[in-house]
Amino acid sequence: MFNILVTGANGQLGSEIRYLSKNYNYNFLFTDQKELNITDYSNVNKIVIENKINAIINCGAYTAVDKAEDEIDLANLINGEAVKNLADISKTLNIKLVHISTDYIFNGKNYKPYIETDEVNPIGVYGKSKLLGEKYISDINPKNSIIIRTSWVYSLFGANFVKTILKYGKERDKLRVVYDQIGTPTYARDLATVILDILPKIENINLEIYHYSNEGAISWFDFAKEIVKMAKLETKIEPIESFEYPTKAKRPFYSVLNKRKIKEKFNISIPYWKDSLKLMLNDKSLENK
């Protein structure tokens, strides 16, 4: 049996992997911070050896973008040092490693979708901490290790933009949403499916980096408009500029990801963002979340 350790299993992506796990002939060990502190090398190493783990899917991360500006050490510990632990263990024990990274490692000043080899230059602590994790994996370079950068993740599980718009869309007559930040939503279930499908096909000597999001490019304003429209809510969505909604951390103005590499390497097709949003909103279990 192929044994997979999933860290951050109670987050959006980890929860979607758990939801899909019944469809795959793998043996999963789902852990979150309470069950496994990935910043503790000895503990992780012990768990991996005891459970004869063949692959690690690291969904664990510090994702509070604004709080990270004040909690620099904690962000670097979880997004950087903990990733170093996983990379070290993966190399020593010769197991596969799938690490999830972010569009925030770019500065958002591009004019066309980012490819994997584009210059990285994060503009905030969160992006810098995620880049630190990437650098650790690159330096350690465990065999059969990959990084998947993604963007604008949403899910039935956890807190995210879609669920926020649904909540406030039912409570308020008007919502103001920025229109000058452009990217692509990613339905976590789509990403989870791809990870589980390609896992047996990952065979590389050196680290490989891939980009994955749904297809298309939109603003947060456009995204909110479509959520409200599909959910048949009456609230009005008004466009605003980023300076009208100040946040502690700067956001990339453009972070669309080019997915050609992962599509060609693993022969996959990627759903259009609007189709995936419709699937998520039509999921009856959303009513209970």
Count of all residues that appear for the chain in the document: 289
Per the annotation, the verdict on 126 as an active-site residue is yes
Domain annotation for the chain: domains and CATH numbers: 3-159+184-215+255-271 (3.40.50.720)
Reported confidence tier of residue 283, pLDDT bands at 50, 70, 90:
confident
Contact 17, 6 (CB under 8 A): yes
Token digits for 157? 């599980």
Cα–Cα distance for residue pair 204/262, rounded to 1 Å: 14
Give the per-residue pLDDT at 1.
79
3-state helix, strand, coil in the chain (%, to 5): 45, 20, 40
Stretch 140-161: mean pLDDT: 97
Tokens 């453009």 found at: 254
Q: For residue range 243-278, what is the model confidence (pLDDT) as tens digits? A: 998 899 999 999 999 999 999 999 999 999 999 999
> Does residue 13 have a pLDDT over 80?
yes
Question: What tokens appear for 74 in the block?
Answer: 């904690």
d(Cα 38, Cα 86) in Å, to the nearest integer?
Answer: 8
Note the pLDDT tens digit of each residue in 193-225: 999 999 999 999 999 999 999 999 999 999 999
CB 269, CB 197: distance < 8 Å: no
From residue 220, give the alpha-carbon distance in Å to each of 75, 97, 150, 152, 242: 25, 32, 16, 9, 11
From the candidates 126, 136, 187, 254, give the one annotated as an active-site residue. Answer: 126
Contact 217, 253 (CB under 8 A): no
Single-letter residue type at 246: P
Name residue, tokens 């499916």: 193
| Cα–Cα distance, 161 to 17 (Å, whole number) | 20
| Paired tokens of 234 | 């009456």
